[in-house]
Structure 1
Amino acid sequence: MTVEQSTFPTPNSTGQLSRADAALYLTRIGLPHLSNDASPSLDLLRQLQSHHITHVPFESTSIHVPNWHDDEADIELGRGTTVGLGEAAFRRIVHLKRGGYCFSINSTFALLLRWFGFRVSEVAARVFGAQGKDPEDEEVGWSWSPTSHQCAVVDWEGSEGRWFVDVGFGSAQSVIPFHDNAEQTSLPPSERFLLRQVPCLPITSTSLVPPADPLPYWIVSHWESPPSSSPSKAGYWSPVYAFTLSSISTADFIVYNHYNSTHPSAVFVNFFVCTRLSEDGSRRTLYWKEGMLEEKTGRRLAKLQTTRPGQGDREGEGKQEEWVEMKVGSVKRCLKEVFGMEFPRDYSGN
């Protein structure tokens, strides 16, 4: 009998956490002393989100690795397995100290929020197709991916408003008040995010056909400051993703998750990444795309990058870089040492 079958408690069949589950989850995100009888509040919501972001990595590793115990195997993009939701996601995040991308991380975080009495509306979003660029630039325009992201709108009994939350995009935005033109700084407060409502999704590319029955959308944008080399340039708000306020069922997210972990055009199928923000504001990121080769030997090398708060900009200043060979053994060592992941030999899952 495997460890997965014998020793991992998991959310019960109703999709709810038990008291033991909640306690394990709080320990996983660095809050072992927080009472799991705490009442929902804005302070609690902010505390849970900030600790989740700094303890649970955003990563796509298992999409590319079918067997973590074959140390000499080359890692090939898209050759792994679909990252499971529900019990499988809980096991990965809580017991194996791994992470995932939006569908596994945000859906599992929603379980924790509901344990504390928060009401969670899980919504699906389209990611902006030109991250970091200005959609008002004629050469950029408004382009959107297929529905490929999960986030949430949260409130609770007696709350004075609603709040936008997201622990599964790989960025570090904090809880944002859910109203038009709500602006919030990131975690730590070095970046700015804006939430605004528009009557319909702006479209200028051919990737989407304007709908016959347009719906109002909410757009989350990131403030792009002028680069240090061109301080005279103006900054701008660049869209991150957009969503309608419509709760999506677990069955629908299973479909979105399958597409994003198997379709040849899906972002994560073509991108190996693991990133996590530290409590001191630094970020460690391991990533690899096809074609990243060592110039002299042709070895396939992933980049392990460290960025500290206040250092550098999009031109790459102030970043520390190391290189990791794209073989299971070397990548696994990096994921253990840098991100704290666990790979028990008697665990049958991915």
Structure 2
Amino acid sequence: MKQKKEVTIHDIAKKLALSSATVSRALQDNPTINKKTRIRVQEAARLLGYRRNIFASSLRKQQTNTIGLIVHELRSNFITSVLAGIERITSEAGYDLIIAHSSESFKKEAANAANLFHKRVDGLIASLAFDTIGLDHYSLFQDKGIPVVFFDRVEERSESTKVIIDNYQCGYQATKHLIEQGCRRIVMVTASLERNVYVQRFMGYKAALADSGLPFDEQHLLIKDLSEKCGVEAARQILDMAPLPDGAFITNDFSAAVCMQHLKEQGVRIPEDIAVVGFNNDTIGRIVEPSLTTIDYRGQDMGEIAARSLVNHLQGITNIRHTNTIVIRSDLIIRKSSLRSGTF
């Protein structure tokens, strides 16, 4: 089927016997063109099926009013809440979002970065994949002076702008809470220690054990992918341990809920036999029985702060290159899954 020719402002001008310059201004609702003419032009454009060539316009202005976003996944409540925060700020500022996800692949993340660079995004917000090493694949942006803000999973040693929580303190707080509930053999289920968020939580966990005079046992550290399968695998490994652990710090609420369910099916009482703390404050934590103690990881706040930092830079209000790291608040939310003493 032959493709229909794209309607141009020259076609509209010819139909209405107006100059192309007048049509162009009328389509932009320029007040120098009288209102009746503007309405007439805009109605003709609608009837003819005219579409603005935003890309060509953007090239002339050297900006596209688009922001690129790279996330490591799209299925978690945390990422959904981050996206909501980013979208709210960028939409209010008149920017469109182009979203790409790496599926936890460094190779795919690098390809996404190159693709967004060639789409001429004005700025980029990114969270790193499990296996990402270094930030060389973002050098295209740096060389062109295109601002990049990293959130959550970041390269801590870099000088890039980062929006994070205090993962060390969160790991310490979660573990200390379990110790205060009488736990002495605490399992930690987490993901790759190559990523800042997981290694910092692990360091906090170890520090809380040490400060309480408890030894770190390597068999109590389970490195997983924090999926549904991971929750079942973790439960099986915990059940095989002798003596049985009496506490579990699982750095993902969904995995924690799956793990708890499997343990309960095998006759383990929660929190009486094993007290459990999760991470992220996902909705599932309020639904499972017993309700899940967790770290409140404020994804929407993180998204809003990352987006606002980038937009303010693009609009010349602030310079993100003067801000290295922004740490947002996080809290321990205590629910029934960890309470072995006192009253809920």
TM-score range, shorter chain: under 0.3
Structure ranking higher in helix proportion: 2
Query: Which is richer in strand?
Result: 1
TM-score, normalised via structure 1 length: 0.24
